[in-house]
Structure 1
Amino acid sequence: MRSVRFRKTIVVTSTVLCAGMALSACGESGGTSADSGRSQGNVTVATSKGDLEVPREPARVAALDNTSFATLKAFGVKPVVVPKALLPKAGFEDWKNDSSIKDAGTHREPKFEAINAAEPDLIVGGYRFTDHHDKLAKIATTVDVAPSDEAAGGYVNSLRTQTEELGKIFGKEDEAKEIVAALDKARDAAAQATKGESVFLAVASAGKIDNGASRIGRLAEPLKLKNVLSAEGQDSTSVHDNSGLAPETIAQLNPDWMIMMDRDAATGGEGTEAVAAKKLVDGMEAWDKTTFRTKNQVVYLQSDFYVTEGAQAYTDAFNKVTTAFNAAG
């Protein structure tokens, strides 16, 4: 990767960086300045790198973690740079079409020059951008409060933490409490609605249906469901490759329910014509006699779930599960 020329305010000695009252991070975003505790413009948040002092209510925000987009929008934050290719197709047209909001590229091909040129006070990184943390931290204070499967209590619980920490940063603690309360209510209702039924966690990708347990197993963790296929043998959170799962295998397992994430709908199929997940499911002859098909027990997650995956997305997913399972009796 070619080198990046950072703006002059960043390219100074470490001594000057640590002395500047406007900057709380020094080199690595996990560090803080010697007298940062006396700064009235900072707030300490819990991150994947440990406690970190960040600017309170930063004016210029680089929003890179797609799981935070809906929360930042709910807080009234208008970023200066975002990975526009990762924006959901609906609900973020203002960010996508605003020329004053620069494009950060993607996690696969980040546009570091664009991020740097946007002169952010704070970078909300992590999740897909986790591997780029160190380079981002050289541009501006970089905070990683993204949800994680490895976090205490699992992915869904870490969505609560993410929302609360972002609430601290942007002075939106009350709004954060409302988002968390909605998530908790939806999760608890879904847990109550499920009673040990078997389920196939599926993903529609490249026009095929595969095992999506590595990605949406997170959704099933708080629920009373029996997953017929585990994520064993899959790369962590990977739903990009064709595992060769045969429809007949699912037919033989005959799960009571299917929960479907449509990756094609969210990404456009990456060069392959996307086929609606429901069309794929209904057209699978091997499943004609399965319980989930004959009883129409398929829960389709929001079409943009693959590029959202934040607190609001999981709230909606849990609500869909509750509605479907309660209706089935």
Structure 2
Amino acid sequence: MTRFLSPKSAVRGVTSVALVLGAALLLSACSGGGPANDEKSADATTVTITDNHGKVEVPVNPKTVVALDNTSFDTLSAWDVDLAAVPKGVMGSVWPEYTDDEKVIDVGNHREPNLEAIVAAQPDLIIGGYRFGDYYDEIKKQNPQAVVIEIAPREGEDVFAELERQTEILGQIFDREDDAKALNDKLEAAMADAKTAYNGTDTVMAVNTSAGKIGYIAPETGRALGPVFPALGWVPALEVEGGTSNHKGDDISVEAIADSNPDWIVALDRDAAFAVEDREAGSAPATELISNAEALKNVTAVKDGHIVILDANFYLTEGIQAYTELFKQLGTAFSAK
């Protein structure tokens, strides 16, 4: 609203106009242009994020980064984020730009980690958690100069919402918000397509193969494939009470699988990410193990060729890209029925 001033009120008018303009500028700054919680302004040097432990102030584009969480490596690699130290012992050959670089210090594996390697790197940011979650307090204590965060999917939460949350946080830290949104959009699209491809009635059995044995992956709670059941509305061929997220799957006999007669078998070959000579003794590729099992020869999934084997590196990656490709793979397989 425009105000016309008389000469006698000129001074007061100037003051009023200044107040009005000041208020307008303040309102303008608050209406969508300013940073909200867990966001940053264009020239910010830090951003406040909420990790698995609470709110943390993190440097934007930190100079020296250590990453221990396998679920983050695909994103960090795609965004050309240099890493000072990584756990090469649990990375296989998936990320040679890190594992083959002698300048990148090796933290080892989560069973016997070399935490001193992290200290030697003198990082500004440590992306911990996942297999290294048990060492959170120790890593924080040993690296007081660094910000330590854990952003891997939290237990009991929706895995796919958690992966999107992780990606958003990484996007804020490394100034790649648009790229983060694109990754999340791809996951949601692939999940929607896979759900549409499923007919809603075929029964599904999820298994884990390792060292020549077939393990049971429980719907919802089982490692890797458990969360896919509710996401796609799969009908379980078999539900065993007390299913766990054991990395080798739960013990189950091939006869129990045969008795459940699944229309589909979806398998995580835990040994596939490692070179043939490094496979555990007695191990065989999942397709061979399932197809050649005498007890399974009359199972519908085997007879109809409805066996889906996850990408060989899935056991090592398990991040947003891995699940996006898995949903694409499942959409293609179920559509081709």
Query: Is the shorter-chain TM-score for this pair beyond 0.5, marking a shared fold?
Result: yes
Call closer, same or farther: CA 1:162–1:231 in 2, change over 3 Å: farther
| 1:52-102: CA deviation from partner (whole Å, max 9, x where unpaired) | 111111111111000000011111102110011221423x11211100001
- The aligned counterpart of 2:265 is 258
Q: Please, which moves more after superposition, 142-151 or 277-286?
A: 142-151
**Which residues of 2 match residues 168-187 of structure 1 at below 5 A?**
168-187=172-191
Tell me which of 190, 194, 197 is aligned to 1:190: 194
- The aligned counterpart of 1:240 is 248
State the shift of 1:229 in Å.
3.2
**Which residues of 2 match residues 115-126 of structure 1 at below 5 A?**
115-126=118-129
Q: Secondary structure in 2 aligned to 1:53?
A: strand
Q: Secondary structure in 2 aligned to 1:130?
A: helix
Task: State the alpha-carbon separation in 2 of the partners of residues 44 and 279 from structure 1.
Answer: 49
| 1:109-146: CA deviation from partner (whole Å, max 9, x where unpaired) | 11111111011110001111111111112212111111
- The aligned counterpart of 1:57 is 61
Q: Number of residue pairs matched?
A: 286
State the shift of 1:219 in Å.
2.1
| Counterpart AA for 1:58 | P
8 Å CA contact retained: 1:198, 1:257: yes
Q: Secondary structure in 2 aligned to 1:110?
A: coil
**Which residues of 2 match residues 1-329 of structure 1 at below 5 A?**
40-90=44-94, 92-138=95-141, 139=143, 140-151=146-157, 154-196=158-200, 197-213=202-218, 214-215=222-223, 216-230=225-239, 232-235=241-244, 237-240=245-248, 243=251, 245-267=252-274, 271-328=280-337
- The aligned counterpart of 1:12 is none
Same amino acid, percent of matched pairs: 39
Task: State the alpha-carbon separation in 2 of the partners of residues 121 and 249 from structure 1.
Answer: 51
State the shift of 1:195 in Å.
2.4
Call closer, same or farther: CA 1:162–1:108 in 2, change over 3 Å: same
8 Å CA contact retained: 1:121, 1:141: yes
- The aligned counterpart of 2:33 is none
Call closer, same or farther: CA 1:211–1:116 in 2, change over 3 Å: same
5+ residue gaps, structure 1: 1-38
| 1:269-296: CA deviation from partner (whole Å, max 9, x where unpaired) | 6642431111101111111111101110
Runs of 4 or more consecutive aligned structure 1 residues displaced over 3 Å after TM superposition: 229-232, 267-271
Call closer, same or farther: CA 1:149–1:327 in 2, change over 3 Å: farther
- The aligned counterpart of 2:23 is none
8 Å CA contact retained: 1:219, 1:314: no
Task: State the alpha-carbon separation in 2 of the partners of residues 130 and 150 from structure 1.
Answer: 15
State the shift of 1:231 in Å.
6.2
| 1:143-176: CA deviation from partner (whole Å, max 9, x where unpaired) | 111113422xx11111100001110011011111
8 Å CA contact retained: 2:52, 2:154: no
Task: State the alpha-carbon separation in 2 of the partners of residues 78 and 296 from structure 1.
Answer: 43
State the shift of 1:234 in Å.
3.8
| Counterpart AA for 1:261 | L
8 Å CA contact retained: 1:88, 1:266: yes
Task: State the alpha-carbon separation in 2 of the partners of residues 292 and 158 from structure 1.
Answer: 32
Q: Secondary structure in 2 aligned to 1:325?
A: helix
| 1:306-329: CA deviation from partner (whole Å, max 9, x where unpaired) | 11100000001100110000000x
5+ residue gaps, structure 2: 1-42
Q: Secondary structure in 2 aligned to 1:217?
A: coil
Call closer, same or farther: CA 1:311–1:241 in 2, change over 3 Å: closer
8 Å CA contact retained: 2:208, 2:249: no
8 Å CA contact retained: 2:207, 2:249: no
- The aligned counterpart of 2:32 is none
Task: State the alpha-carbon separation in 2 of the partners of residues 145 and 114 from structure 1.
Answer: 21
Task: State the alpha-carbon separation in 2 of the partners of residues 130 and 307 from structure 1.
Answer: 16
8 Å CA contact retained: 2:217, 2:249: no
Q: Secondary structure in 1 aligned to 2:62?
A: coil
| Counterpart AA for 2:212 | G
8 Å CA contact retained: 1:205, 1:239: no
State the shift of 1:225 in Å.
0.8
